[in-house]
Amino acid sequence: MRRLWINGLHAGMEGVGQGVYAQRLLAMFARHVESAVCEITVVMPEQQVARAAELLRPLHIEGRRLSQINNPLLRATDWNIRFFALPELREKGTIAFSPGSGWGLRTPRTLAMTYHDCIYRHFSAYMGRRFARAWLTRRAERFLRHAKTVFTESEHAARDIHQLLGIAQEKIAVIPAWLPPEYSVELAQAQREAVRQKYRLPDRYWLYVGGYDIRKNVEFMIRAYTEAQKRSPCPHWFSRAGSRRQSVDSLQCSWRA
């Protein structure tokens, strides 16, 4: 039987899209593990294992030490280098899969990776003020070329990956983001009033759900809302969800169900 080894690092990234994606993807694997055509092993930082094992049973999970490097970007880099160097990933019949970007000094025998977007190529601020982030990002781009399959979530991202990173189109598979089964229109309608009362919301309001970094252009959204109020009878209550302290560097060893 073929074996699938999954990089579980990204499932510990709280408050960012890659973390939610990885958590939901692993939960999907757990739901369908009995019908899987391969043996699945998830390798993640040992601090995450106890909670993850409870949520992802019956997936096989292995814990490994996470570096204590203070810089989260370098900490993630150290983890990825060690994950991709695992000798099991060079065995015949083994597929290495990472639900987020990364790079290693050694290449798995068969590599599949999710590359969410090339947003940093459009906003130079994502490269930071120092050379380190740009250098690490370029290494991740070069490592991606070793992948047999590159998953992404939109046709726009697929075009960027092909045109900007030079990945062959036949290697790229677009799988749009999905809602897990616990989300439904019926459930949302049933909980609407309780949520409105909890957050003291009026009957009608605008709601923004997203991050606060440069690509979200939140300032423009607020100006547009102000202008719309002048032109039409818009709701006078503007609500936003999320934390303004979230960062693209966010990497914590805790698990959110």
Domain around 32 = 2-174
Q: What is the mean pLDDT of residues 214-218?
A: 83
Which pLDDT score is estimated for 1?
Answer: 78
Residues 154 and 103 in one domain: yes
Q: What is the mean pLDDT of residues 102-127?
A: 93
Q: What is the mean pLDDT of residues 73-99?
A: 96
Residues 190 and 118 in one domain: no
The predicted-structure confidence for 6-24, as pLDDT tens digits, reads as follows: 999 999 987 788 898 999 9
Does a structural domain hold residue 11?
yes
Which pLDDT score is estimated for 250?
Answer: 34
Residues 129 and 221 in one domain: no
Percent of the chain's residues with pLDDT above 70? 94
Which pLDDT score is estimated for 240?
Answer: 76
Whether 245 has a pLDDT exceeding 60, the answer reads no
Does a structural domain hold residue 251?
no
Q: How many angstroms separate the most distant Cα atoms in the chain?
A: 65
- Tracing tokens 């547009």 back to the chain, one arrives at 224
Whether 36 has a pLDDT exceeding 80, the answer reads yes
| Amino acid identity for residue 147 in this structure | A
| pLDDT band at residue 221 using 50, 70 and 90 as cut-offs | confident
Residues 169 and 195 in one domain: no
Residues 144 and 215 in one domain: no
| Amino acid identity for residue 11 in this structure | A
What's the domain count of the chain? 2
Whether 253 has a pLDDT exceeding 80, the answer reads no
Whether 247 has a pLDDT exceeding 60, the answer reads no
**Residue 255: φ, ψ to 5°:** -120, 135
Put residue 254 in one of left, alpha, beta given phi > 0 → left and psi -120 to 50 → alpha: beta
Residues 79 and 122 in one domain: yes
Q: What is the mean pLDDT of residues 237-241?
A: 77
Whether 252 has a pLDDT exceeding 80, the answer reads no
Does a structural domain hold residue 249?
no
Residue 159's contacts (CB-CB under 8 Å, 6 or more residues apart) are none
Which pLDDT score is estimated for 244?
Answer: 55
- Tracing tokens 């009608």 back to the chain, one arrives at 204
Residues 169 and 191 in one domain: no
Residues 112 and 190 in one domain: no
Residues 44 and 146 in one domain: yes
Which pLDDT score is estimated for 15?
Answer: 72
Which pLDDT score is estimated for 219?
Answer: 86
Which pLDDT score is estimated for 205?
Answer: 85
Whether 180 has a pLDDT exceeding 80, the answer reads no
Which pLDDT score is estimated for 251?
Answer: 33
Q: What is the mean pLDDT of residues 133-151?
A: 96
Residues 105 and 203 in one domain: no
Contact between residue 9 and residue 80 where contact means Cβ atoms under 8 Å apart: yes
Q: What is the mean pLDDT of residues 189-214?
A: 86
Which pLDDT score is estimated for 83?
Answer: 97
Does a structural domain hold residue 18?
yes
| Amino acid identity for residue 257 in this structure | A
Q: How many residues make up the chain in this entry? A: 257
Contact between residue 36 and residue 26 where contact means Cβ atoms under 8 Å apart: no
Lowest mean pLDDT among 61-70, 151-160, 177-186: 177-186
| Of the candidates 135, 139, 156, 48, the residue with the CA atom closest to the CA atom of residue 101 | 139
Which pLDDT score is estimated for 243?
Answer: 62
Which pLDDT score is estimated for 256?
Answer: 36
Residues 148 and 70 in one domain: yes
Which pLDDT score is estimated for 58?
Answer: 92
Residues 156 and 217 in one domain: no
